[in-house]
Each structure stands twice: as C-alpha cells, then as structure tokens.
Structure 1
C-alpha cells in the first residue's frame, strides 16, 4: 500500500494531483492558506472554505536541502545515503505561494520564473512499512 503523507492536502491518488487548501470566504479578506485550517490566518474568522489550487505555477525562489532533515522526517535515507533535494517557493496562479520539495536538485537546472507543476515523489516508509509519498513541484513537461 501507498499513502499520501497527509490525506487532506491533495487530490492524490488522482493522476493529475493538485493541492487542496482553503480560501477565506469573507468578502473583505479572501486569504488563501495551505494546508487548510479552521480559522483564517488574516482575519481570524471561521470562514475558510476548502478549495483546490491550480496545478501549475511559477518558481519564485529555491535552494537545495543539503543535509538530512531531523525528526519527524519520514525519509528512509541515512547520513550515508542521503541525496540533497531542491526546495522551492512556488506561486500557484494568482492564489497562493507554497513551499515544497522540487524534483530537481541541480542548481544549474533551476531558474527563477520557471514553470512548474504539482506531482508526487516517494518519501519513505511509515512504522507499518507502508510507502509514504509527498507532493513536489517538477518542471512543466518533465
């Protein structure tokens, strides 16, 4: 079996996976939030409604994670087997900016303003041996 790291953050296992979050329905606010939460982070009202964000976006900023993340990281890597991975800030449409893993980790291949889309990547295994996947952003057309 395979499962998403958190079942409420995406449309996985849809083939064209998209991220799920919230948008404040208060007409004076309209803040977007990921992942969804009960109260709006801007106006503190309980008017956050679930929404599916655009699948494609623009890479605004990025870096490379060059060290093994600490607990509660679910990856199967050890210090000896860890491979650095890209992390980026992605603008999804004109709705929200989301930080996430990138499928590319080579700085020579990452460009500010590049078009990216949501996908999934294996993360590791949970305590029951079940494979865990997470969302990531890949170059459009990859």
Structure 2
C-alpha cells in the first residue's frame, strides 16, 4: 500500500495535485475543507495550487492529542503553520515545507505539495497531509 491522504476528499486525485474546497451554490463563497456531511448547497471545487503566505506562526513544541505526528519532545523539530491565500478563492491553513522558520516572509509565493504527517512511519503506513512550499 502506498502513502495515502490523511482524510478522504482532501485532494482531487490519487496524485494529490489539488485540494478539494467547497463552493456554496447560492452565494459562490468558497471554503476549505469540503464538509464531511453532504449538503445540497455545497459543491466540490478544485482549489488553486499556488498562493501567498498571508500570515504564519512556528509550532515549537509537539501539539497535544489528537495530534498524530512526531511528539517526542527530545526529537521534535519545529515547523511553520501558515494561512495561505489562494487568490479569488479562500485561505487554507497548512504547514510550510522546504523553508526554515526564519526565512518565511508574509507575501511569499508558495505552491501545494503533500508531505507525510509522520516521516518516521514506514512508507506503507504514511498518511499524507497538504502543505505548501516556496515557489
């Protein structure tokens, strides 16, 4: 079994090339993620794969349960969590990868990628999450 998304309906396809958002059929408002419960007023929409960092913070200690990633305080590596603005659509909260916390800038251009929630898990057990990396 290859690595799989952490949740159904997170990505548009098995290659994890775009996120699935939700568009309100009446108002046109776009949000993320797609609700788990079906709703006649909501339709799935593929979100843009590029955006800009609107704001961010650095997670410097392991989150509390139900966090499923690496949680050993001795080996935990801080990571960046950002709100990424997808122009004309919505904002997505996600990790940033491929950039050190001190190098992140508000307004920097980023693109969608998928990363393992816990890189220490065997490949066949890895659950993939959405993230953004610098362009």
TM norm structure 2: 0.86
Say whether the 8 Å CA contact 1:64–1:105 is kept in structure 2. no
Aligned pairs for 1:1-142 (under 5 A) are 1=1, 2-14=3-15, 17-26=17-26, 29-37=27-35, 38-39=38-39, 46-104=40-98, 106-124=100-118, 125=121, 130-140=125-135
Q: 1 CA distance for matches of 2:102 and 2:127?
A: 29
**Structure 1: segments with no counterpart, 5+ residues:** 40-45
Structure showing greater relative contact order (alpha-carbon pairs closer than 8 Å, 6 or more residues apart): 2
Q: 1 CA distance for matches of 2:63 and 2:34?
A: 24
Q: 2 CA distance for matches of 1:131 and 1:67?
A: 21
Moved >2 Å (runs of 4+) = 104-108
Q: 2 CA distance for matches of 1:115 and 1:11?
A: 22
- Following TM superposition, by how much is the alpha carbon of 1:78 offset from its aligned partner in structure 2, in angstroms? 1.0
SS in 2 for 1:100: strand
**Cα RMSD over matched residues?**
1.9
Q: 2 CA distance for matches of 1:81 and 1:138?
A: 23
- Following TM superposition, by how much is the alpha carbon of 1:14 offset from its aligned partner in structure 2, in angstroms? 1.6
Alignment length (residue pairs): 129
**Structure 2: segments with no counterpart, 5+ residues:** none
